[in-house]
Structure 1
């Protein structure tokens, strides 16, 4: 039997922000922290990574100088208990220094590309967490059939009264939006 690495031995109150920040970068790249508990995320398929990279490039071109687009970076939603996610794509204020923890108030848009192993997290858990944290826009990219279907973008906008996401549209085949950025893209170019 293989023993768990030392970093997976958690105190009863869960992992703190300071303990998370002390972990090696190669460990942080493969985990998220939910209520102080470590959630190990498997490496995404190549097709998932290709969609993320290509969509991030398109968003970066559309975002302009006031916004930065990154993928697979830490987003600190809450300090206690620690809630740290690694969205597929984040569009945020470019004035944020690199050494400052990325937080919801810096973010304009978060995008998740759904994989077979992330259905519940991407459809239920993460949107609820992002909305509760006040992130104005959330997009979820899905395939009509998990292995080989066309892409669809489910777009949501935060209702400031309820702090829940309201549907802003569903796009298949192509995406043409003016909010939160002006973007026109054929989904075939992402595959």
Structure 2
């Protein structure tokens, strides 16, 4: 049996912000922190990565110079207990310097591409966390379980009164939106 690395031995209160920031980048890129606990994330399937990359390219083309689009980037939702997610795509204020931690107030939109191993997190946990953090838009892309060549996008917009996401639309095969920006995508181009 292989011993766990030292960084996985956590105190009862979980991993702190300072301890997380001291970890090597190659470790941070494969983990998420939820309530101070380390969640090791498997590398997504190639189809997942392809969809996320192509969608990010479309979003970047539509975003304009005031927004930056990044894939698989750290997003600090809370410091105590530490809650750090890595959305598949984040669209955020382009004036944010690279060395500054990405926080919810910098983000306009986060997107998750659902994988078989992330159903509960992508459908329940992450939307609740992103909404509580105040991120205005959340989109989730799901492959049809019967036909993985068919995508559906579930779009949500933050209700500022309840701080919960309200449905903003469900799109199958193609997407045409004007909020948070003008974007038209034929989902076949993402596959």
Q: Does TM, normalized by the shorter one, top 0.5?
A: yes
* Counterpart residue number, 2:68: 68
SS, match of residue 179 in structure 1: coil
Aligned length: 191
TM-score by length of 2: 0.99
Gaps of 5+ in 2: none
Matches within 5 A, 1:77-88: 77-88=77-88
Q: 1:146 to 1:25 in 2, by over 3 A?
A: farther
Q: Are 1:16 and 2:12 matched, yes or no?
A: no
What corresponds to 1:55 in structure 2?
55
| CA–CA separation in structure 2 for the residues paired with 1:181 and 1:30 | 31
Cα 1:61–1:89 change in 2 (3 A) is: same
Structure 2 distance, partners of 1:27, 1:173, is: 36
The alpha-carbon distance between structure 1 residues 150 and 105, as it changes in their structure 2 partners (threshold 3 A), is: same
How far is 1:6 from its partner? Answer: 0.7
Distance 2:144 2:134 in 1: 29
Shift of 1:147: 6.2
What's the counterpart of residue 32 of structure 2?
A: 32
Counterpart contact for 1:116–1:146, Cα < 8 Å: no
User: Which is further off, 56-65 or 142-151?
Assistant: 142-151
TM-score, scaled to structure 1: 0.99
- Gaps of at least 5 residues in structure 1 are none
